[in-house]
Structure formats: structure tokens, C-alpha cells
Amino acid sequence: MQQLLSILALLACPIMMLLCMRGMFGGSKNKKADPSQLEASQQNMQS
């Protein structure tokens, strides 16, 4: 039982990383960004 828990704990980190990466890159379905939105987001990041 304890061995099973340790294996699950070891697998939890890579699985969560994959899910987060999928959400980060798959969150926006629109491949062509609006230039005005891009400029506004860059200005927000700089300030």
C-alpha cells in the first residue's frame, strides 16, 4: 500500500505538468492574434 502511494506521488508531478502545459498552449484556439490586442498586452506587461 505504501509503495503504491509513493508511485502515485512520483507520477503526480509530471501529470500535473502535462495538464498545465496543455492548458497554457491549448487555451487559445485563435491562431491569428489581433495586432491591437497584442500591443495592449505588451504595454500592460511593461507597466
State the pTM of this model. 0.40
How far apart, in whole angstroms, are the C-alpha atoms of residue 37 and residue 4? 48
Q: What are phi and psi of 33, to 5 degrees?
A: -80, 145
Question: What radius of gyration, in Å, describes the C-alpha atoms of the chain?
Answer: 19
Query: Residue 19 has which C-alpha cell?
Result: 495538464
pLDDT attached to residue 29: 57
Nearest to 38 by CA among 21, 24, 46: 46
Cβ atoms within 10 Å, residue 28: 8
Query: Residue 28 has which C-alpha cell?
Result: 487559445
pLDDT along the chain (47 residues), means of 10: 91 90 72 62 68
